[in-house]
Amino acid sequence: MLNDDSKAEYYRDRYPREHPMMEHHHGKLAKLLELIREDLRGELAAINEYASHMVEAMEAGYNDIARVLHHIMLDEKDHVASLTKILNKYDPEQRRAFMKEEPGTYSIQDQ
């Protein structure tokens, strides 16, 4: 995890002064986006856990339990989509990454 000085440096290096993220890099939006990314991590981990538990339930012969776990897992996927949409809306750098057609083409010059 970056400390506050490192975060300021990170944003200064990546966002031009007139960029909206620069205005907010010490403010509430940057902190909120950081929290959203942590929430996203939790949702993704939850999906994997429910998938694993669902398999356990099926292997134990409890398909009714597996169906409930599957339903919960689908809810978690909805949560991932909702949080991702927030990042897409408020983090322009992330939005640009979503818009790229060919992944894996990053270079130093891209920044």
What are the residues binding Fe ion (CB under 5 A)? 43, 76, 79
Q: How far is residue 63's CA from residue 59's CA, in Å, rounded to a whole number?
A: 9
Whose CA is closest to 14, among 94, 87, 103?
94
- Give the residue with the Cβ less far from Fe ion, 8 or 44: 44
- Give the residue with the Cβ less far from Fe ion, 19 or 79: 79
In the complex, least distance from residue 76 CB atom to Fe ion, rounded to whole angstroms:
5
Whose CA is closest to 34, among 71, 7, 9?
7
- Give the residue with the Cβ less far from Fe ion, 43 or 91: 43
In the complex, least distance from residue 50 CB atom to Fe ion, rounded to whole angstroms:
10
Nearest residue to Fe ion by CB is: 79
CA 108 to chain centre: 23
In the complex, least distance from residue 78 CB atom to Fe ion, rounded to whole angstroms:
8
- Give the residue with the Cβ less far from Fe ion, 8 or 33: 33
